[in-house]
């Protein structure tokens, strides 16, 4: 059995905490997304926080997921691999989307109709099942099925991947950055940022970021097969981390300088081209840089890190409910939106991990999420 990479577990914990903070900020900043609670005041300072997060953190989740996939498939085979994926991803997805989210939305909307009528109007006419932040699980399920099919079609899959990687060179990050920039710009001509569609009628997707997510998932698989994470040197990783941090800093400086808006959501617009390249630079720099930073500095676990790691996935599943509850508590408080965001985050993160620890003591929960 392959040695567990503790730095990836630790990085996943940090990304999960960032997801909690991102959703805590949704109510209080100038985000383009839809949120079920309304706060009239917004903190403009959170604008670059949203933009930088969207530029890399879900993409890095996909890269890590792709990296872990080949070993899971090799150890279980196709049938057991898919069964484990549907258990770990599919059961929580069905439970939350069909049983939890309808009740939450009904309570937040406080409609004048009955709960049954609300479900009929909102979910069934037309069919529109709300999965919220669990769209990530839907994508992982689709990718797991596609990967399994590919492994069946190509019995020599691992050699194909290794051969392709060798043809591309050792670490073709610049070529990938330029390709991601171009494809992202072209996709956003029709699908601007924050426009969600149902691919194939059942896969909720923000198409503007799909090139990043799908490509990083594939890169994760290639990295696992070719041991890229072990081959990338500390110097290379820290160089890319520096590039990503500089691009991130410039995004914050641009917002604070009150310059004309250059962050176009899409369309045939030079601003969209600039942001596509800027975003791709943040993405490649931080994804590669953070992996190497954690490999060099955090490839260990103590008791606290082990507990956090064991609960990270459950926290991802439940955190939205905790955050919405805290946002409702502070809804009628007159404090500034940035202070509300800070309070919701500082209270919400440990509360999510605490609730997760309690839930994981339940035998059924522990069995599903193991």
Q: Is the pLDDT of residue 65 over 90?
A: yes
Q: Is the pLDDT of residue 66 over 50?
A: yes
- What pLDDT score does 115 carry? 79
Calculate the average pLDDT of the chain.
Answer: 89
Instruction: Tell me the DSSP string of 173-194.
Output: HHHHHHHHHHHHHHHHHHS-TT
State the pLDDT confidence band at 262, using cuts at 50, 70 and 90.
low
Environment class of 183 (CB within 10 Å of its CB; exposed 0-12, middle 13-18, buried 19+): middle
For residues 120 and 118, what is the distance between their CA atoms, to the nearest angstrom? 5
* Percent of the chain clearing pLDDT 90 (strictly above): 66
What digits encode the pLDDT tens for the residues 283-326?
A: 999 999 999 999 999 999 999 999 999 999 999 999 999 999 99
Q: Is the pLDDT of residue 126 over 90?
A: no
CA distances for 367 relative to 312, 360, 363, angstroms:
16, 9, 6
The helix (run of H) or strand (run of E) holding residue 47 is helix 47-85
What digits encode the pLDDT tens for the residues 175-198?
A: 999 999 999 999 999 999 989 998
What digits encode the pLDDT tens for the residues 18-52?
A: 999 999 999 998 876 678 888 888 888 899 999 99
Strands (E), 200-319: 203-206
State the pLDDT confidence band at 170, using cuts at 50, 70 and 90.
very low
CA distances for 130 relative to 1, 134, 166, angstroms:
38, 9, 42
Mean of pLDDT values over 268-296: 94
- What pLDDT score does 302 carry? 94
Nearest to 260 by CA among 246, 248, 274: 274
């Amino acid at each position: 059995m392959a040695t567990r990479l503790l730095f990836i577990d630790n990085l996943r914990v940090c990304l999960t905490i960032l997801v909690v903070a991102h959703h805590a900020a949704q109510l209080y900043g100038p985000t383009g997304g839809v949120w079920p609670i309304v706060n009239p005041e917004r903190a403009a300072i959170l604008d670059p926080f949203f933009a930088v997060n969207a530029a890399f953190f879900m993409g890095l989740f996909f890269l890590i997921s792709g990296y872990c996939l080949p070993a899971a498939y090799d150890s279980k085979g196709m049938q057991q691999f898919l069964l484990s994926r549907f258990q770990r991803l599919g059961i929580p997805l069905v439970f939350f989307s069909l049983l939890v989210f309808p009740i939450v939305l009904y309570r937040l909307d406080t409609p004048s109709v009955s709960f049954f009528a609300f479900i009929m109007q909102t979910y069934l006419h037309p069919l529109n099942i709300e999965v919220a932040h669990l769209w990530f699980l839907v994508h992982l399920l689709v990718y797991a099925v596609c990967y399994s099919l590919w492994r069946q079609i190509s019995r020599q899959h691992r050699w194909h991947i290794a051969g392709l990687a060798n043809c591309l060179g050792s670490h073709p990050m610049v070529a990938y950055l330029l390709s991601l920039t171009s494809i992202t710009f072209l996709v956003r001509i029709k699908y601007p940022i924050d426009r969600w569609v149902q691919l194939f009628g059942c896969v909720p997707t923000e198409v503007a970021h799909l090139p990043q997510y799908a490509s990083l998932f594939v890169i994760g698989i290639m990295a696992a097969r070719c041991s890229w994470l072990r081959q990338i040197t500390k110097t290379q990783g820290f160089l890319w981390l520096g590039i990503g941090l500089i691009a991130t800093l410039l995004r914050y400086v641009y917002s604070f300088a009150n310059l004309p808006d250059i962050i176009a959501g899409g369309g045939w617009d030079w601003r969209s081209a600039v942001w596509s390249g800027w975003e791709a630079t943040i993405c490649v720099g931080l994804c590669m840089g953070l992996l190497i930073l954690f490999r060099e500095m955090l490839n260990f676990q103590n008791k606290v890190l082990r507990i956090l790691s064991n609960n990270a996935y459950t926290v991802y599943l439940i955190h939205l409910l905790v955050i919405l509850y805290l946002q409702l508590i502070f809804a009628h408080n007159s404090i500034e939106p940035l202070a509300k965001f800070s309070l919701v985050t500082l209270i919400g993160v440990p509360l999510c991990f605490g609730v997760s620890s309690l839930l994981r003591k339940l035998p059924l929960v522990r069995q599903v999420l193991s």
